[in-house]
Amino acid sequence: MADNPFSFGALALDEAFADREAELGELTSDIRNGQDVVVFAPRRYGKSSLVWRAAGALAADGVLVAQIDLMTTASKESLAAALARSIYEQVATTIERVRDRALAPFRGLQVQPTINVNPNDGTLSFSFGVGHRPSDIDATLERLLELPAELAGARGRRVALVIDEFQEIVSIDPELPKLLRSVFQRQPEIAHVYLGSKQHIMERIFNDANEPFWRSARSIELGPIPADPFGAFIAERFERSGRAVEPAAVKDLLARTGGHPYATQELCYSLWEQTPAGGAAAADELERALAAVLRSEHAHFSLLWDGASAVQRQVLRALAREPGHPFSAAYRTHHNLPPATNVQKALRALTRRELVTGEAGAYRITEPFLPEWLQLNIDRVSPGRS
């Protein structure tokens, strides 16, 4: 039996990686050149998959890539621990095969880490205890941030530092961006790659003239994947796994997902499951696949709905029926929305939650499949209520 060729939820690697060839080429070239890059994109648009794909290509050329995820670092101490482990595993031990020599740079830190050995596989973990003076932990972070360039430079190797969920830096400590920028601007030989899912915060960090990172990195913005390459990818994946998919079904599927990478892979996964071996997916299989996806997302969407205020729910229901201009009198009248000031407040909250996005006054729901779920579970149950 063939395995399902589509993947969602985890990183899209190897053959599961769809398109993004232009962005991949730009990113790998920038890293080789030591160019700092910020990748703008909504959640689940494949930022991390793109970087992992680039890292794999760069590794073949001897480029070292250290990566940390700020979503897992709630304090400066945990950030220091994540940095130390990433530098040790992805830079130091690549250069120095002997563990003692690889650990040597960490012995000169202002705050000494506790290093634990996993008895099962021999891997190391780093931790920094609390209670240190803020200036000491700041000095430790500064030194850790300097290490990748020093270690790689001593061996003539190019290195990149990838920071995922970079917008979380301001919640760890609002002063941290100044510290990071003061170090990074002295490292023209190292490429710093910043990824973030909260676009409004990332745009403020990199586009506000009052912020330390203003205009400090080249931007790559990920949008939906175009229909032609995504459609070819879908058809090829079906064919290679012993199934087929009708062109009309592919067209309808992409119209429903809008080329959203995660949503498309999720719906394709379900569509493949609905298609018998040797069979061809068509309209009926697509409808069953969509129903299966909505069932699997029901708990997630229910939590989103429960966490919305009454006005936010009204706005979500309106946008599910008709993306458009919620501030206009005609739109609010047609969808029985409250005054524009109430709608504006609701939209700000929904934008912060990354449930809606707007440009030039036109808004739409960004969460994949939420419009279908709202129409199926809310509008049909209570068509006259919000």
In this prediction, residues 8-21 reach a mean pLDDT of 63
Which tokens in the block code for residue 215? 């205009």
Give CA–CA dist 22/53, Å, rounded.
13
Would you place residue 384 in the very low, low, confident or very high pLDDT band (cuts 50, 70, 90)?
low
Is domain 227-296 in CATH 1.20.1440, yes or no?
A: no
Query: In the chain, which residue ranges form alpha helices assigned H by DSSP?
Result: 21-32, 47-59, 76-87, 93-95, 99-103, 134-154, 169-172, 176-184, 199-207, 227-240, 247-257, 261-274, 283-296, 298-306, 310-321, 329-334, 340-352, 370-374
pLDDT digits 0-9 by tens, 124-170: 899 998 888 999 999 999 999 999 999 988 888 889 999 999 999 99
Element (H, E) at 111: none
- Over residues 30-43, the mean pLDDT reads 89
Angle value at C-alpha 258, between 17 and 18, nearest 5 degrees: 10
> Tens of pLDDT along 69-91?
999 999 999 999 999 999 999 99
CA distances from 177 to 202, 296, 362 (A): 12, 39, 33
pLDDT band at residue 186, thresholds of 50, 70 and 90? very high
Reported as a pLDDT band with limits 50, 70 and 90, residue 15 is: low
Asked if 70 contacts 165 with a C-beta cutoff of 8 angstroms, the reply is yes
Structural contact between residues 67 and 126, judged by C-beta atoms closer than 8 angstroms: no
**Rounded to whole angstroms, how far apart are CA atoms 329 and 344?**
13
Q: What DSSP line would sit under 140-207, residue for residue?
A: HHHHHHHHHHHHHHHTT--EEEEEETGGGHHHH-TTHHHHHHHHHTT-TTEEEEEEES-HHHHHHHHH
pLDDT of 225-239, one tens digit each? Answer: 999 999 999 999 999
Looking at the structure, give the CATH architecture of the domain made up of residues 20-221.
Answer: 3-Layer(aba) Sandwich (3.40)
Strand-strand pairing, 124-127 and 114-117: antiparallel
The CA angle 226-232-236, to the nearest 5 degrees, is 145
Locate the domains of the chain by residue range.
Answer: 20-221, 227-296, 301-379
Q: Looking at the predicted structure, is the pLDDT value of residue 266 above 70?
A: yes
Does residue 361 surpass a pLDDT of 70? yes
Position 17 pLDDT exceeds 80: no
**pLDDT tens, 277-294?**
999 999 999 999 999 999
In the chain, % of residues over pLDDT 90: 68
pLDDT exceeds 80 at position 385: no
Q: Which residues pair with 324 in a beta bridge?
A: 363
CATH for 301-379 is: 1.10.10.10
Beta bridge partners of 37: 193, 218
**What band does 386 get if pLDDT is binned at 50, 70 and 90?**
very low
